[in-house]
Amino acid sequence: MANYYSLVPHIPSSIFPYVGIIAIVIGLLLAFFGDTIWKYLMSLMGALLGASLGFAFAFHYGLIVTLLVAFLGAVIGGFLFYYIAEAGIALFLAYFAFILTLYAFGQKTSGLSTFNHNFGIDEVIAAIVALAVFIVSILYFKDLVAIFTSLAGGILVDYGLTSFHLGIIATAVAIVVFILGMIYQFVRLNRKKPVSKAAVNQQPAVRQ
């Protein structure tokens, strides 16, 4: 996968190994503990986005006002991304499914422009598929998080190891990290699932 990393902005060779180590550490955390830390990462992304928007809107009103608005934007963005992350990601997946379904029917669409036209049978089917994807994403959201964070962790580990010129070994290690991380997260998720009352009642009573 090393050839694909040419798309990443150029990083000076003097600090590239350090970036690789950071990528490996973050990748391992995502792969094995993604179900725990993903909300905090989303909150951080929301805070950065909110701060950037606040800075852009208040830039012409002086330094103090700009900093205050940027701070307020960071707080609001971090709060929103933390508490509505599940719905937001599910909506994104549903929208992506909607577009892919339209492409499968041979329609060339830019996405939102679809809603400027009358709905036909293709759009109705695409909307049904999108609704189904949204519902499934909400019901099995934690499982999806385990899969995607393990995959993202594996990619980061591969990227980090590539900085040490390990070649195919980096990809092999990344695949192992992805598989083990996903298994570990699923095991942890199963342990966290509450035991139903019926299962508890079926357990034999302990004799005094």
Range of 13-22, 91-100, 186-195 with top mean pLDDT:
91-100
Mean pLDDT of the chain: 78
> 1-10, 26-35, 45-54, 159-168: lowest mean pLDDT where?
1-10
Tokens of 180: 């083990």
Q: Which of 121, 160, 188, 205 lies closest to 28 in space, CA to CA?
A: 160
Q: How far is C-alpha 143 from the chain's CA centre?
A: 12
Model pLDDT for residues 94-122, shown as the tens digit of each residue:
888 888 888 888 776 555 555 545 567 88
Sorting pLDDT into bands at 50, 70 and 90, what band is 197? very low
Tokens of 55: 């800075």
- Range 165-176 average pLDDT: 88
Q: For position 66, what pLDDT does the model report?
A: 87
* Spatial separation of the C-alpha atoms in residues 173 and 97, rounded to whole Å: 31
- Nearest 5°: CA angle at 143, between 137 and 147? 105
CA atoms within 13 A on the CB side of 24: 14
Single-letter amino acid code for the residue at 51: A
Supply the DSSP symbol for 117: S
Backbone angles phi, psi at 102, to 5 degrees: -65, -40
Tokens of 15: 């600090």
Q: For position 7, what pLDDT does the model report?
A: 44
Q: Which of 179, 201, 183 lies closest to 191 in space, CA to CA?
A: 183
- Range 155-164 average pLDDT: 85
Sorting pLDDT into bands at 50, 70 and 90, what band is 179? very high
- Range 136-165 average pLDDT: 86
Report pTM.
Answer: 0.62
